[in-house]
Amino acid sequence: MKNILEAPFMTDMIRTTAIMYDHGWDERNSGNISLLLEEDEAAEYIDTKAVLRTIPTGFSEPSLDGRIFLVTGTGKYFKNVEYAPEMNLGLLRLADGGRQAEVLWGFSDGGKFTSELPAHMMSHAARLSADPGNRVVLHCHPANLLAMTYVHTLDEREFTRTLWRMCTESIMIFPDGIGVLPWMLCGTNEIGEATAEKMKLSRIVVWAQHGIYGVGRDLDEAFGLVETAEKAAEIYMKTAHLRILNTISDAQLKKIADHLGHTVREGYLD
């Protein structure tokens, strides 16, 4: 059996967590990532029939029953993943309609999956129904997007339009817009359900005064979504208090989308 620490999905996860920490998006033990794997993909590196232990998940998501995920652990620091992946990450398979998580590898110190697992799994289910190729859910706390939720209206259309106007790339990268939730208690099924509902239309969901969820077909795509939105938010925070002399107009935004063949969120451009 191949060395799991050399698996492409493992090296991608280790690299991504390290970069996110270096960006300042995941202070202390904050942030979490889940990556959906196919059974045969995992089976090259572990015995998928050998269950180390079973942990209740506290939620139910029947559509993901039997699916395998590489996830970050609760209370773990992203900065430590590259040095002890077997302690800070775990491979788990959902069972019993999603109510149980079978640990197949990792969490070697007796730890468990992130406390945000319900929100991750509900978002996976929502995105898979919209895009069967979706494999990644990523959560972090980028400073500028977080700051923006204190000074900008939380109206999704206006929040999205502001970010689109900050740099040309924004509408290219997230033409489907930004979902925005008001402050809610994290680590609960309620915020997971609310996030999943937003994920039906948007691949980015902002949790006001908390952070952001980004999804994608792979880790690069999910990371790139957050990276682009955070850059746009940084430009906004640097200019919002200044006299604005120039901006990207709706006509220009439409021109960008038409040129690239992107379908823009309906009703978001005048």
> Is there a single domain that holds both residue 1 and residue 108?
yes
Domain with residue 15: its CATH number is: 3.40.225.10
Question: Which pLDDT score, from 0 to 100, does residue 1 have?
Answer: 81
Residue 98 lies in a domain: yes
Tell me the percentage of the chain whose pLDDT exceeds 70: 100
Active site residues: 116
> Is there a single domain that holds both residue 32 and residue 108?
yes
Question: Which pLDDT score, from 0 to 100, does residue 8 have?
Answer: 97
> Is there a single domain that holds both residue 153 and residue 211?
yes
Question: Which pLDDT score, from 0 to 100, does residue 187 have?
Answer: 85
Give the DSSP per-residue string, the chain: ---GGGSHHHHHHHHHHHHHHHTTSS-TT--EEEEEE-HHHHHTTS-TT---EEEE-SS--GGGTT-EEEEEBTT--GGGTTT-HHHHEEEEEEEGGGTEEEEEEE-TTS--B-TTHHHHHHHHHHHHHH-TT--EEEEE--HHHHHHHHHS---HHHHHHHHHHH-THHHHH-TT-EEEE----TTSHHHHHHHHHHHTT-SEEEETTTEEEEEESSHHHHHHHHHHHHHHHHHHHHHTTSPP-----HHHHHHHHHHHTPPPPTTS--
Q: 52, 80, 115: which is the final residue of a domain?
A: 115
> Is there a single domain that holds both residue 19 and residue 53?
yes
Residue 121 lies in a domain: no
| Per-residue pLDDT tens digits for 225-235 | 999 999 999 99
Quick check: 270 pLDDT over 90? no
> Is there a single domain that holds both residue 43 and residue 153?
no
Residue 234 sits in which domain range? 138-265
| Tally of structural domains, the chain | 2
Question: Which pLDDT score, from 0 to 100, does residue 266 have?
Answer: 92
Average pLDDT, the chain: 96
